[in-house]
Amino acid sequence: MKYSYARIATVFVLMLSLLLTACSDTPTTAPGATAAKYSLRYVNFKVYDPVYVGIDKGFFSKYGLQVEIIGDSLGGPTAIQAVSTGRAEAGLSSIPAIINAAASGIPVMGVTDIQSAVGDQPLEEYFVKDPAIKSVKDLKGKRVAVNLWKSSFHYTAIMALEKAGFTEKDVEFVLIPFERQAAALASGQVDMIGLMQPYTAFAKAEQGQQLIPLFTAFDVFGKKQFTVHFVNSIWAKYNSEAASAFANGIADSVAWIEANQDEAKPIIAKYTGVEAKYIPTYHFQPDARVVPEDAQFWLDYMLKRGDITASWLKPEDFVTNRYNQKAIR
């Protein structure tokens, strides 16, 4: 299908108008609270998210920002769609999903860390139930659960298969949300699942020794950043102070979490609905910074697979630390 330049320009102007007016939809201020200078709508995805701490502890309001959580996203692509159409200004997504969006011309920019394999935290953990499955080579012909297509968990599982001499065609991938994967494994619906916190801790507590660890992200490629908070890059260009308030509030939240792990757990529990006893300690990149080298890692892999063809794309086109003052000081 061919599109005229005039039609493309019209669509772009309409989208820009939506995005620039979106920030004026200020959410209701709580009784007795000081009116915020900026507002931002954030697409919810119930994982261990420092945004919850930023709201609860007032780290965003410190910078004059009021964050409104909207919806319950199924994952990064849904959040990207909401942000790109002006229904929200920010969300979270895996770096591969952000790369896909950027390669398609969607204005998204990763600004802070939320999920990384760091320290002794592999983040991505893969489990089986059948004791006969002792290595990745035993997965041939098996059913493997992933939360999203062409996202970090999907790609990590494919990389593990490739290291074992297989391809993704040697298994059957099944799309199942994190919260349903443990039950799917227990019932025999799938043979392997991939989880992140707090779902990992909950599954381990619920299934005990029946949940057999097979490999982690560390085993596949070591320490890497997987997922970041992102903003609409056009909105951020015209609302740089609000974008900075968002990134700085997250950086402050991360610093507080690192120093107050036990106090953070009930906050995360309140927003995710997962009992605090299942919330583990959680770590982030220093100052919540994004890691361009890790963004390049995911970009190179997707280009190698042919999942994107935008050879011109560079990490600076879809991730930046410019709004996070702690990361650039």
pLDDT at 302: 96
Q: Do domains 5-119+224-328 and 125-221 have the same CATH topology?
A: yes
- What CATH class is the domain 125-221? alpha beta
pLDDT at 75: 56
Q: Write down the mean pLDDT value for the chain.
A: 88
Q: Which CATH number fits domain 5-119+224-328: 3.10.180.10, 3.40.190.10, 3.40.50.10330, 3.30.70.580?
A: 3.40.190.10
What are the C-alpha distances in Å from 220 to residues 37, 60, 289, 316?
45, 36, 23, 25
Counted residue by residue, the chain has a size of: 329
DSSP secondary structure, 232-297, as one string: EHHHHHH-HHHHHHHHHHHHHHHHHHHH-HHHHHHHHHHHH---GGG------SGGG---HHHHHH
pLDDT at 6 over 60: no
Q: Which residues of 51-90 are buried (b: 16+ CB within 10 A; e: fewer)?
A: bbbbbbbebbbebbbbbebebebebbbbbbbbbbebbbbb
pLDDT at 78: 80
**Confidence band, pLDDT 50/70/90 cuts, at residue 30:** very low
Domain ranges for the chain: 5-119+224-328, 125-221
pLDDT at 3 over 80: no
Q: Which amino acid is at 41?
A: R
pLDDT at 315 over 60: yes
**Confidence band, pLDDT 50/70/90 cuts, at residue 84:** confident
What does the pLDDT average to over 130-147?
96
The per-type count for the chain, helices as H runs and strands as E runs, is 13, 10
What does the pLDDT average to over 73-78?
62
pLDDT at 151: 86
Which of 54 and 196 is assigned the larger pLDDT? Answer: 54
Cis peptide bond upstream of 280, omega within 30: no
Lowest mean pLDDT among 76-85, 180-189, 271-280, 303-312: 76-85
